[in-house]
């Protein structure tokens, strides 16, 4: 049996040999060669690490429209190529003590679109809303948004360029003409060209470098793995800090400066008005306000394919992009086996047809496998509840953020090297103002006190000492863990390119101090022949287990 597997691997290697070479003919490693010995790239102390936010008067964040003309235009996907969501905002936000929300009924939500720029022959209408961020404390300013519009376009053809305008034609308040390309048809030989993956983005000068470099790579889809604007690093008067609890320890509630959301939407429009962006919540989106409401800005500003994917929540959903099935999970709501998210996840996984979508990719914000001191083992309770389910269905890759650095794992399951476990990739290095994560938990005197690891929004204490392996009896490893294949503290983002049913190229670009370099690159190879997974068998159009 082992000789047969070796022969199959050798044949596969010969068939895909051209993929092993970049333009400089350098060998690109692949996961069949792993597990790899751990590598740490030393931190470059000469890097400036400029994490200053763009100021309010930067022209890239100022309002450029008048009246009810659309702004902050963005695209997101539905569950398949047949439909997309368009979102935008009309009208101005208000912030102060005497705010009066706009009436969403006064402005229509209309999109005109077609395959010719000169013939926008199709029309779709949607819904609109206004949200508020309110604080029941004297001296804090309240906020109410402009009118947020969400319109779903349906009946679209795959891999097709569409042109569109959005707004309200009755008010002569229509946008310029933009364009987007739909996802390829769902199938094992059909994939988007480049999927950009980024986390913990914010709106700093480093963010602008990340987005500039990402744009130059011409992505077909963007995944933002939580922590969008970092508006909650500001008081309601607009005073900000890269450490809220350090600078504002006496505030009666964790305030947030909601105009930063509008600044972010304006800055991002040039990219996300033509490239779909799929977002999952992070801890900086909690934004607690009056009546204990949380995540209101996040849930209001983005359109999610929740209903289309059988979810009742904006915190978790799924969608297809060609032959990839993406699962977006929430770490800051109930993930226990008895909860709604887990039951939805079970159903979603059971209905994935791997003959159509061979690649199964999962994302959520805080990583399970990270060796940095920051947020070390913080999501352990979620891992204990969910890991076995993802493993049993053969999830190929997991993308996380939260830790402001880069790390790629070997294939791992329950902290042990496993050729059938997912590859975990942390990309929480988009450029936010909280600066980079540099210390590692395995360095002397850096292992955190176990009692400090739980996050109050993520459940109780689950991260106990290891009971097996090289770290048995310890809370931290005393060297870079075996599961950690590569780690580096630098700002950047990644590009995920699926080549066929079993091979995909992952490239992480470091963009510290504005230079753009390939920091890490590897082919991730699926092995369905040696890694059986639970799946639904389709026969005569009747599904059964």
Q: Which residues are catalytic?
A: 375
Nearest 5°: phi and psi at 170?
Answer: -70, -25
Alpha-carbon distances, residue 163 vs 156, 166, 169 (angstroms): 12, 10, 16
Listed in sequence order, the residues at least 6 apart from 255 whose beta carbon sits closer than 8 Å to its beta carbon are 135, 140, 232, 234, 235, 236, 248
Give the integer Cα–Cα distance in Å for 433 and 262: 17
The terminus-to-terminus CA distance of the chain in angstroms comes to 27
Give the integer Cα–Cα distance in Å for 71 and 265: 8
SS3 480: coil
Listed in sequence order, the residues at least 6 apart from 238 whose beta carbon sits closer than 8 Å to its beta carbon are 56, 257, 259
The residues facing 144 across adjacent strands are 94, 132
SS3 365: coil
The residues facing 113 across adjacent strands are 122, 164
Q: What is the dihedral of CA 526, 528, 534, 539, to 10 degrees?
A: 120
What pairing do the DSSP bridges indicate for beta strands 359-363 and 324-328? parallel
Give the integer Cα–Cα distance in Å for 351 and 325: 11
Give the integer Cα–Cα distance in Å for 98 and 8: 70
What pairing do the DSSP bridges indicate for beta strands 39-40 and 484-488? parallel
Alpha-carbon distances, residue 118 vs 115, 171, 275, 492, 503 (angstroms): 9, 21, 21, 39, 40
- Under 8 Å between Cβ of 505 and 28: yes
Q: Which of 415, 364, 54, 382 is nearest to 205 (CA)?
A: 54
Q: Where on the phi/psi map is residue 231: left (φ > 0), alpha (ψ -120 to 50), or beta?
A: alpha
Burial level of 514, CB count in 10 A (0-12/13-18/19+)? middle
SS3 307: helix
Give the integer Cα–Cα distance in Å for 409 and 407: 7
- Indicate if the alpha-carbon torsion angle 60, 243, 198, 152 is positive or negative: negative
DSSP state of 382: H
């Amino acid at each position: 049996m082992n000789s047969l597997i070796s022969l199959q691997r050798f044949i596969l290697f010969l068939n895909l040999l051209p993929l092993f070479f970049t333009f400089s003919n350098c060998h690109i490693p692949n996961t069949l060669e792993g597990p790899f010995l751990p590598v740490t790239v030393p931190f470059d102390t000469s890097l400036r690490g400029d994490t200053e936010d763009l100021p309010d008067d930067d022209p890239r964040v100022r309002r450029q429209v008048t009246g009810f003309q659309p702004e902050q235009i963005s695209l997101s996907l539905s569950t398949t190529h047949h439909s997309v969501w368009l979102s935008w905002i009309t009208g101005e936000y208000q912030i102060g003590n005497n705010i009066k929300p706009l009436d969403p009924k006064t402005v229509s939500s209309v999109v005109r679109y077609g395959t010719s720029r000169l013939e926008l022959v199709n029309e779709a209408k949607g819904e609109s809303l206004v949200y508020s961020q309110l604080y029941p404390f004297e001296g804090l300013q309240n906020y109410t948004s402009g009118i947020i519009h969400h319109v779903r376009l349906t009946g679209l053809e795959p891999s097709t360029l569409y042109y569109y305008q959005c707004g309200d034609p009755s008010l002569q308040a229509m946008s310029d003409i933009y364009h987007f390309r739909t996802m390829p048809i769902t199938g094992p030989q059909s994939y988007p060209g480049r999927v950009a993956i980024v986390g913990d983005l914010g709106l700093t000068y480093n963010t602008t470098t990340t987005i500039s470099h990402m744009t130059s790579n011409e992505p077909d889809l963007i995944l933002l793995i939580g922590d969008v604007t970092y508006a909650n690093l500001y008081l309601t008067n607009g005073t900000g800090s890269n450490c809220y609890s350090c600078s504002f320890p006496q505030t009666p509630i964790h305030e947030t400066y909601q105009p930063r959301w509008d600044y972010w939407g304006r800055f991002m429009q040039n990219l996300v008005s033509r490239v779909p962006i799929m977002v999952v919540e992070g801890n900086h989106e909690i934004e607690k306000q009056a009546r204990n409401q949380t995540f209101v800005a996040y849930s209001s500003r983005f359109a999610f394919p929740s209903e289309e994917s059988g979810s009742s929540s904006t915190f978790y959903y799924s969608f297809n992009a060609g032959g990839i099935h993406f699962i977006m999970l929430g770490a800051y709501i109930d993930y226990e086996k008895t909860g709604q998210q887990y039951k939805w996840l079970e159903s979603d996984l059971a209905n994935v047809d791997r003959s159509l979508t061979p690649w199964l990719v999962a994302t959520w914000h805080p990583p399970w496998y990270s060796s940095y001191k920051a947020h070390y083992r913080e999501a352990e309770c979620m891992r204990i509840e969910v890991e076995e389910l993802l493993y049993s269905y053969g999830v190929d890759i997991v993308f996380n953020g939260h830790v402001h650095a880069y790390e790629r794992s070997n294939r791992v399951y329950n902290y042990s090297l496993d050729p059938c476990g997912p590859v975990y990739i942390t990309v929480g290095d988009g450029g936010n103002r909280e600066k980079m994560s540099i210390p590692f938990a395995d360095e002397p005197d850096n292992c955190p006190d176990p009692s400090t690891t739980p996050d109050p929004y993520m459940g109780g204490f689950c991260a106990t000492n290891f009971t097996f392996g090289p770290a048995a009896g310890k809370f931290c490893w005393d060297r870079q863990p075996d599961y950690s294949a590569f780690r580096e503290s630098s700002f950047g983002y990644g590009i995920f390119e699926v080549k066929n049913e079993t091979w995909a190229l992952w490239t992480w670009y470091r963009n510290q101090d504005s230079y753009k370099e390939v920091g890490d690159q590897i082919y991730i190879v699926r092995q369905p022949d040696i890694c059986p997974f639970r799946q639904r068998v389709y026969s005569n159009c009747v599904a059964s287990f």
